[in-house]
Structure 1
Amino acid sequence: MDLHYLVENLTNPALLFFFLGLIAVNLKSDLKIPENSSKFISLYLLLAIGFKGGQELSHSTITSQIIWSLLFGVLLAVLVPIYCYFILRLKLSVENAGAIAAAYGSVSAVTFVTTISFLELSRIPFGGHMVAVMALMEAPSIIVGVLLISLYSKNKKDKTSFRTVIHHSLTNGSVVLIIGSLLVGYIANDAQAEGIKPFTTDIFKGFLAVFLLDMGITSGGKLKDLLEKGWFTVSFAIIIPLINGCLVAIISGFFMEEIGNRLLMSILAASASYIAVPAAMKLAAPKANPGLYIPMALAITFPFNITIGMPLYLCIIGVC
């Protein structure tokens, strides 16, 4: 494996700010991003990436490759939580297994955005339709996770209606914003879109750096609690994303041509949600422990993917 892409990724300013956040926590610094600012930045990142994806999609011809990408993304969002659930049930309760399985079947928008930044720095092209793939992968895994909990739970009294869960997963703020921004970008004419380019493109990397700094601070604070839970959850948070990412890096070659699209699909398969799924599980599975599924996705899987995962999947795809 050529270390060029690994070194290039590890010297990415946005990623270095993530490490700065981790270091700040370990130094017991009072460095902190205000909660309202953090929420605004996350909304901005989703808006910008959705809008740019819509613009790219508006200039693309709908091909069989795009259709297969969308279908494959949804298939992953359904299958991954199913097999993850039965692995997790070896050690965890029905509720915790279902919530974690849903998180690993769903996707991390921030990991996706960070990968796009990596591709742009490496001058590797990718298609705007991959934003649509990401958007479509959010809700199915949540629904599957809740269905698994409902099927195997012994306590029938604590159930939330299936209709409520579907409504919540489809109307979750991150899902609505990414899909809505994609549609706005697709509909907007080129001249008008150019007018907001300074907002959607020029300042994007700066906001990403600040957001990853905040992610580093948050991850550093949650990592200790997760490590106290034992080896099983920590191992799962590394091994399962690694398997998913490597397999999709190989399988995607049968129906996708562009290297950037294959890397993004691999990252989507390997990532885990720590925004949309926790919000849904708080309603659907209140007995599930957020002290497990949030730090697993945020403090273990997220840094693994953006440091080692991206260069590794790229190498499997054939760019070493």
Structure 2
Amino acid sequence: MYEIIMQNLLSPVVLFFVLGLIAALFKSDLKFPTGLNEALSIFLLIAIGLKGGIELSNYTLSEVAIPVLATLLLGSILPIITLLMLKMIKLDTKNALALAATYGSVSIVTFGAAISFLDHVNLTYEGFMNAMVVLMESPAIIMSILLLKILENKNKELYPSQKVAFTSPATSLIDKEVLKETFFGKSILLLLGSLLIGLVVGERAIPVIQPLFIDLYSSILILFLLSMGLTAGQRLPEVRQHGVKLLLFGIFMPIVAGAIGVLTGHAIGLSLGGVTLMGVLAGSASYIAAPAALRTSIPEANPSIYLGLALGITFPFNLIFGIPLYYQFAQWLQIF
């Protein structure tokens, strides 16, 4: 286990993240232009989506049906587990639901780092796992929003004297702006759109996309993680303001969720690499898609909690310790 962690720590991806973290903590004047951050993010979203679609085109529906269902189920259950854990530390409902969406969803960059880790240890995985990233993005966001609407309706029943505008049952549960932000926000649109394009064109697209989206993927990921290190370092003080319990949640939750993901991957018969990636999907927290949706769906939630915790605590934990830990969990299951 120690050797795996050290191997991951000494990879260029992690070291450049640490470099960004150090730069932020020591208040260096190192900065990334806003436009460059946006470009790097778009590149990674398209690259992962295209790769997932092309790989998915090699499989029949019967081959991917069970993994797809398992991924959707995992994305729907994790928010509930998150809420139960946050209830123990008595976090208010709005912030708890925001964290449920964040921790039930997935980090694209963590997944990309996990792929680099598997490549580093020469471990293969099912190609359709790239498509599971896209499928894992939305269920937790939708589940959290539905839970919020259900709780709001319940409060209206408990306090009928409060004047509220009349809305139909469908409107009370489904907000058009929320759905628009969830399904047509940058992350979901690019991931799902790239996935569908890759699925349609298949392997004949490889000669066109390989020079940019395949050959340069690892190098672009290094640049993005340097930027993420800067952002994570800037968010750390915000997270510390909310107490030790939330800090511990940011470490404990990915371990619990990652273990559930590993068990799920093992149960549906994935390879060692696939099981590891399923653990990474479950154990990571979204700081792109979920926060974008939460801005409109739960505006009362504090971004410094759900964004600061996901980016300042859980992301570096997964990058340094989590990925090797899920890999070790997967290895233990294979032994038994």
The TM-score with structure 2 as length reference comes to 0.89
Q: Which residue is 1:36 aligned to?
A: 35
Tell me the matched-pair count.
318
Same amino acid, percent of matched pairs: 39
2:316 aligned with 1:303: yes
1:70 is matched with 68
Q: Cα–Cα, structure 1 residues 192 and 97, in superposed 2: closer, same or farther, change >3 Å?
A: closer
Query: What SS does structure 2 have at the residue aligned with 1:135?
Result: helix
Is 2:157 the partner of 1:129? no
CA distance in 2, matches of 1:315, 1:136: 25
- The answer on 1:266 being equivalent to 2:284 is no
Long gaps (5+) in structure 2: 157-161
Once the two structures are superposed, what CA deviation does each residue of 1:56-111 show, in whole Å capped at 9, x if it has no partner?
222234444x2211111111111111121233234221111111111111111111
Contact 2:126 2:270 in 1 (8 A): no
| Alpha-carbon separation, structure 2, partners of 1:254 and 1:226 | 36
SS of residue paired to 1:260 = helix
User: How far is the alpha carbon of 1:194 from its aligned partner?
Assistant: 1.1
Segments of 5+ residues of structure 1 without an aligned counterpart are none
1:193: how far off?
2.3
Aligned to 1:109: 108
Q: Which residue identity does 1:87 align to in structure 2? A: M
Secondary structure of the corresponding residue to residue 27 of structure 2? coil
Q: 2:293 aligns with which of 275, 280, 302?
A: 280
Q: Match for residue 159 of structure 2?
A: none
In 2, Cα distance between the equivalents of 1:286 and 1:82? 20
Residue 211 (structure 1) aligns with: 224
Decide which moves more: 151-160 or 93-102. 151-160
CA RMSD, aligned part only? 2.0
Deviates further, 88-97 or 14-23? 88-97
1:1-320 to structure 2, matched below 5 A, reads 1=1, 3-64=2-63, 66-90=64-88, 91-153=90-152, 154=155, 162-164=174-176, 165-318=178-331
Q: Amino acid of the residue matched to residue 19 of structure 2?
A: L
The 8 Å contact of residues 54 and 128 in structure 1, kept in 2 or not, is answered as no
Aligned equivalents of 1:189, 1:89: Cα separation in 2: 46
- Select between 13-22 and 248-257 the one with higher mean Cα deviation: 248-257
Q: Which has the larger radius of gyration?
A: 2
CA contact (8 A) 1:94 1:152 kept: no
TM-aligned CA deviation for residue 257 of structure 1: 3.0
Cα distance per residue 1:3-55 (max 9 Å; x no partner): 33212211110110000001111221010111110011011011011111222
